[in-house]
Amino acid sequence: MILHGLELQDFRNLQPTRLAFDPAFNLIYGDNGQGKTNLLEAAYLLLCQRSFRAARLGELVRFGSDRGVVRGALQSAGVEHQIQVVLDARGRHTELDGKASRSLSHWPPGFTAVLFTTDDLTAPRGSPADRRRLLDQAVAAVWAAYAELLRRYGRALRARNRLLRERPPGVAALLDAHEPPLASLGAKIVVARQRLLAQLLPRVQAAFARIIGADAPQQVELRYLEGSAPDTPAALPSEDGPGAAEAERLAERLAAGWRRDRARDLARGLTTHGPHSDDLELRLDGRPLRQHASQGQVRALVLAFKVAQILDLHSRSGEYPALLLDDVSSELDALRNRFLHDFLGEVRCQLLLTTARPELVPWRGRGASFEVVRGTVTQREADPGAA
């Protein structure tokens, strides 16, 4: 999949602009706070139909404007496509090849992106929410309906929490009615997360071994921990079948747990366990990465996770996703940058990379370069890192 270019109107702080991207490498540089990440966010919105920063899409519209527009030309499986996303007070309105599109489920294969930010590099040692975000972005790139599933679960969870806080008359009966649908949504989320982890693990292990290049291989584990029992990894689901039976069993267990813990939840006014409190634990040689690994090992494992995503997506559609790197190159040492450079040369994955220090980017001098200054994007022919 190749994103040929973007056309932007009233998106964040960016001035109206039309850009033509290189099919391989695109360097987006400038000082901090100029709008580099906004440009990357526009590309992510076009490919994934969501923002990686804003809770509400209305936040993406330029201040003082009624609507923002992002257009793009893409190629997948040799076929050209046009996408337009209009953002306004009512939300997002998407057209694919001139026709309204409400779902990603019927889009051509390979229309997606893998996002890699500095926040991802700190996720293994950050909060469980950071690691859930890392995992949920990976699942959403594979399963078009997953983002909507997360939203539906979030709305249902907020409704249960409201009942717990307000305790209206007949609250027990209301909770009895509310919890089974919530559990059904939650179980689908957990099964999707577990399945993707099981599928990614061999590729993560292989990529990590290659990045580290150690004589003695180090064993990598990705463990899904349920919030109700944080020291116990959830059993990975089987690879065969659609997972409906797994989700049904898990839904029954979630609902039973909420009934069991209802008194505690009422006392606290919130739902204390469920997929919203689960965790992803990354382990190296049997020990949690966040406690025992070096900074280099942590970054190598996150990089391996992203590489595994790219390879997994290619295996599903035959198309490589776009890779969006937000100021990551300055956080990776020379060894990790060199591995990433070699990997991208092998897989022919289109790269859009932002940085405030272009001289640190090993790919500079090839492809296309764009300078961002106070929201104005200008294509530059010269190497920005040259003397």
- Quick: pLDDT tens for 75-111: 998 899 999 999 998 889 999 999 998 777 778 778 8
54: enclosing H helix or E strand: none
Q: Which residues of 63-92 are buried (b: 16+ CB within 10 A; e: fewer)?
A: eeeebbbbbbbbbbeeeebebbbbbeeeeb
Are 385 and 355 in contact by the 8 Å Cβ rule? The answer is no
Comparing 107 with 318, the larger pLDDT belongs to 318
- Quick: pLDDT tens for 2-30: 999 999 999 999 999 999 999 999 999 99
Least confident of 32-41, 213-222, 326-335, 344-353: 213-222
- Quick: pLDDT tens for 121-157: 999 999 999 999 999 999 999 998 899 999 999 999 9
Q: Region 193-220: what's the mean pLDDT?
A: 88
Comparing 78 with 365, the larger pLDDT belongs to 78
User: What is the pLDDT at residue 344?
Assistant: 85
Identify the band that residue 293 occupies on the pLDDT scale cut at 50, 70 and 90: confident
Q: Region 260-289: what's the mean pLDDT?
A: 94
Identify the band that residue 387 occupies on the pLDDT scale cut at 50, 70 and 90: very low
- Quick: pLDDT tens for 147-199: 999 999 999 999 999 999 999 999 999 999 999 999 999 999 999 999 999 99
- Quick: pLDDT tens for 331-345: 888 888 888 888 988
Check whether 274 has a pLDDT greater than 60. yes
User: What is the pLDDT at residue 240?
Assistant: 39
DSSP string covering 241-308, please? S-SHHHHHHHHHHHHHHHHHTHHHHHHHTS--SSTTT-EEEEEETTEEHHHH--HHHHHHHHHHHHHH
Q: Where are the alpha helices (DSSP H) in 86-170?
A: 118-122, 128-142, 146-166
Q: Is the pTM of this model over 0.85?
A: yes
Identify the band that residue 215 occupies on the pLDDT scale cut at 50, 70 and 90: low
Instruction: Find out if CATH 3.40.50.300 is the number for domain 1-112+321-387.
Output: yes
Specify the CATH architecture of the domain 143-294.
Up-down Bundle (1.20)
Check whether 211 has a pLDDT greater than 70. yes
Provide the mean pLDDT of the chain. Answer: 89
Closest by CA to 58, choosing from 94, 98, 19, 90, is: 90
Residues 6+ apart with CB under 8 A from 314: 320, 321, 347
Q: How far apart are CA 318 and CA 314, in angstroms?
A: 5
Identify the band that residue 354 occupies on the pLDDT scale cut at 50, 70 and 90: very high
Domain ranges of the chain: 1-112+321-387, 143-294
Residues 6+ apart with CB under 8 A from 298: 121, 124, 125, 289, 290
Identify the band that residue 239 occupies on the pLDDT scale cut at 50, 70 and 90: very low
